[in-house]
């Protein structure tokens, strides 16, 4: 049950890297290998591409050697992510030799071709059709009605019991350190009934937890002027509150990621208090000092967030806030940093990941003065993590003795690894059920918390009505 206790994560570093599988290796159909890097949004893109390919009769290879061609879905958010993408392309080139590159880093085709001249094709983010066409060129599809069949909910790279639900693409904000709007464009929301149809299909297929993602979930529908679309015989607005309410009727865990603390988010908190959606908000604050937030050009930077969170917790006392932060942003002074540490404690941020500022090619922040030396960034990062550990361990200690519901993710010979409603998969903590080898992934269990660590809990099963 050994698990790293220190968790450093953020949307851009919540990496998912795996070769998708699920096909019968014995079938003579064309086989595609798939490597998915980057954030959950990129993962959803991968799922769409794989779903399309499977619907055309391709099977997904279990390893490089069994693949006729390999698609690498890259991340281009940070320079370190770009390096990882180049390494992954290199690995696929060495192991297979027939490689198609897609995803955020695909906008830098020259750089990719310079490093790996032999790649077959390079496409950018959301260019699903171009990726599929590139696969057709490399390995023509086999037309067979029996292998064209895919499950109604599509094919997913996540375990069967949870799924990411992407509600929009792009972003209208222009944070100075970020190049995502230039990679993915302005906000483009999906109609509410499309989102709900997908969510319902996923639930019918056995999903117990929906993780709502986008670049700016609280801005959902702004571009559509909150247009209504028909859902279950009634109009449903493309608006954060209306969508949250509708998702809350599906009877599964609904977790909100990438929300900004705008005033209208207040209206969603009662749904959390009622148990309709999870008492969890992933808000990438990035900093707390007004001067740094202004230089970052962050959305909702002018809101008094610690005060807002305090009021949210009056309505929903067990609300967990997860966030990511950047230390060492250009111009960040020791006072700014001290302000951030105080704010972290005042706001009671339950889960936090921290990045040392990294200049991203093409970002406006590169022109800012006041670069922070690397050793100062390093020192602040350690101080940040220590402060966050104190906040997290105190909050988790307060759960000892309580009875909570958990969702089981994995079971091994030592027991079950589960999550509470305050923990998102891959980025937050776990609840370990030592010795509980009877549980199965996807089980929803009632447990009593026996012990707490800095980031994780240990618990044992109790009767469902306890
Ligand atoms: S909100 Fe800011 S950091 Fe997030 S995608 Fe939009 S521009 Fe980038």
Tens digits of residue pLDDT in 266-297? 999 999 999 999 999 999 999 999 999 999 99
Per-residue pLDDT, averaged over 52-81, amounts to 85
pLDDT (mean) for 62-71: 88
Query: Bigger pLDDT: 19 or 196?
Result: 196
* 459 against 463, higher pLDDT: 459
Point out the least confidently predicted range of 75-84, 201-210, 289-298, 395-404. 75-84
Distance CA 370, CA 8 (A): 26
Instruction: Report, as an integer, the average pLDDT of 360-375.
Output: 89
So what's the pLDDT on residue 208?
96
Q: What is the pLDDT of residue 142?
A: 65
CA distances from 268 to 143, 265, 274 (A): 47, 5, 10
- State whether the beta carbon of 175 lies less than 6 angstroms from ligand 1: yes
Distance CA 453, CA 199 (A): 34
DSSP H helical ranges for 173-316: 180-184, 192-204, 240-247, 269-273, 290-296, 305-315
**Angle, alpha carbons 184-50-165 (nearest 5°):** 55
Q: Distance (Å, rounded) from C-alpha 238 to C-alpha 287?
A: 30
d(CA 105, CA 38): 10
pLDDT confidence of residue 28 = 63
- Percentage of the chain lying above the pLDDT 70 cut: 90
> Does residue 299's CB lie within 6 angstroms of at least one atom of ligand 1?
yes
CA distance 235 to 162: 27
Whether the predicted pLDDT of 114 surpasses 60: yes
Residue 211: name the closest of 421, 416, 399 by CA: 421
Average pLDDT over residues 455-461: 96
Distance in angstroms (rounded) separating the CA atoms of residues 461 and 449: 9
State the pLDDT confidence band at 446, using cuts at 50, 70 and 90: very high
The number of the ligand 1 atom at minimal distance from the alpha carbon of 178 is 8
Tally of CA atoms within 13 A in the half-sphere of 457 that contains its CB: 28
> 83-92, 308-317, 359-368: which range is least confident on average?
359-368
Mean pLDDT of 9-16: 31
Is there an atom of ligand 1 within 6 Å of 178 CB?
A: yes
Q: How confident is the model at residue 418 (pLDDT cuts 50, 70, 90)?
A: very high
Q: Is the pLDDT of residue 323 over 60?
A: yes
Secondary structure letter of residue 295 according to DSSP? H
3-state helix, strand, coil in the chain (%, to 5): 35, 20, 45
CA–CA gap between residue 109 and residue 116 (Å, rounded): 10
Position 408 confidence tier, pLDDT thresholds 50, 70, 90: very high
pLDDT band at 302 (very low <50, low <70, confident <90, very high): low
Cα-to-centroid distance, 177 and ligand 1 (Å) = 8
227: buried, middle or exposed (CB in 10 Å: 19+, 13-18, 0-12)?
middle
Mean pLDDT score of the chain:
87
The Cα–Cα gap between 208 and 398 comes to: 27
pLDDT digits (tens, 9 = 90+) for 122-152: 988 877 777 888 888 788 776 554 444 556 6
Cα 175 to middle of ligand 1, angstroms: 6
- Ligand 1 centroid–CA 174 distance in Å is 6
Calculate mean pLDDT across residues 359-369.
86
User: How far away, in angstroms, is 143 Cα from ligand 1 center?
Assistant: 42
CB 376 within 8 A of CB 332: no
Q: Is 173 in the pocket of ligand 1 (CB under 6 A)?
A: yes
49 touches 61 (CB < 8 A) = no
19 falls in which pLDDT band (50, 70, 90)? very low
Q: pLDDT tier at 410 (50, 70, 90 boundaries)? A: very high
Q: Give the ligand 1 atom nearest the CA of 260.
A: 1
**For ligand 1, is residue 218 a contact (CB within 6 Å)?**
no
Q: What is the β-pairing status of strands 162-166 and 99-103?
A: unpaired
The region of weakest confidence among 146-155, 169-178, 226-235, 358-367 is 146-155
Span of 20-29, 198-207, 331-340, 383-392 with lowest mean pLDDT: 20-29
Q: List beta partners, residue 419.
A: 407
Residue 426 alpha carbon to ligand 1 centre in Å: 21
Rounded mean pLDDT of 71-91?
89
């Amino acid at each position: 049950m050994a698990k790293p206790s220190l968790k450093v994560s953020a949307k851009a570093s919540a990496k998912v890297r795996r070769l998708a599988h699920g096909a019968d290796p014995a079938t003579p159909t064309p086989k595609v290998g798939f490597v998915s890097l980057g954030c959950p949004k990129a993962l959803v893109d991968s799922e769409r591409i794989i779903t399309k390919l499977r619907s055309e009769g391709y099977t997904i290879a279990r390893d490089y050697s069994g693949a006729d061609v390999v698609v690498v879905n890259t991340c281009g958010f940070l320079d370190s992510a770009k390096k990882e993408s180049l390494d992954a392309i290199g690995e696929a080139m060495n192991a297979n030799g027939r490689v198609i590159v897609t995803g955020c880093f695909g906008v830098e085709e020259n750089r990719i071709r310079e490093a790996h001249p032999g790649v077959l094709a390079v496409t950018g983010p959301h260019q699903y059709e171009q990726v599929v066409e590139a696969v057709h060129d490399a390995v023509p599809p086999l037309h067979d009605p029996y292998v064209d069949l895919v499950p109604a909910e599509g094919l997913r790279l996540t375990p069967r019991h949870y799924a990411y639900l992407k509600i929009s693409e792009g972003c209208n904000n222009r944070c100075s350190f970020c190049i995502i709007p230039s990679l993915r464009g302005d906000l483009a929301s999906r109609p509410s009934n499309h989102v709900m149809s997908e969510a319902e299909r996923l639930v019918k297929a056995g999903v117990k937890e929906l993780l709502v993602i986008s670049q700016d979930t609280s801005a959902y529908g702004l571009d559509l002027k909150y247009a209504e679309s028909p859902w279950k015989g009634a109009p449903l607005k493309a608006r954060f509150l209306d969508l949250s309410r509708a998702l809350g009727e599906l009877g599964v865990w609904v977790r909100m990621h990438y929300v900004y603390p705008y005033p209208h988010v207040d209206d969603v908190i009662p749904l959390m208090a009622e148990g309709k959606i999870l008492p969890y908000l992933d808000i990438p604050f990035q900093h707390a000092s007004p001067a740094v937030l202004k230089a970052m050009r962050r959305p909702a930077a002018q809101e008094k967030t610690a005060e807002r969170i305090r009021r949210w917790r009056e309505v929903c006392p067990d609300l967990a806030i997860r966030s990511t932060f950047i230390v060492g942003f250009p111009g960040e002074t020791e006072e700014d940093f001290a302000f951030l540490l105080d704010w972290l404690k005042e706001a009671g941020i339950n889960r936090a990941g921290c990045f040392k500022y990294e200049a991203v090619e093409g970002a406006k922040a590169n022109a800012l003065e006041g670069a922070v030396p690397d050793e100062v960034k390093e020192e602040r990062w350690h101080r940040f993590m220590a402060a966050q550990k104190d906040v997290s361990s105190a909050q988790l200690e307060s759960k000892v003795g309580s009875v909570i519901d958990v969702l089981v993710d994995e079971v091994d010979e030592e027991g079950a690894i589960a999550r509470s409603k305050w923990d998102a998969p891959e980025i937050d903590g776990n609840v370990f059920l030592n010795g509980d080898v009877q549980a199965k992934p996807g089980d929803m269990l009632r447990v009593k918390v026996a012990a707490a660590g800095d980031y994780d809990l240990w618990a044992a099963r109790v009767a469902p009505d306890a």
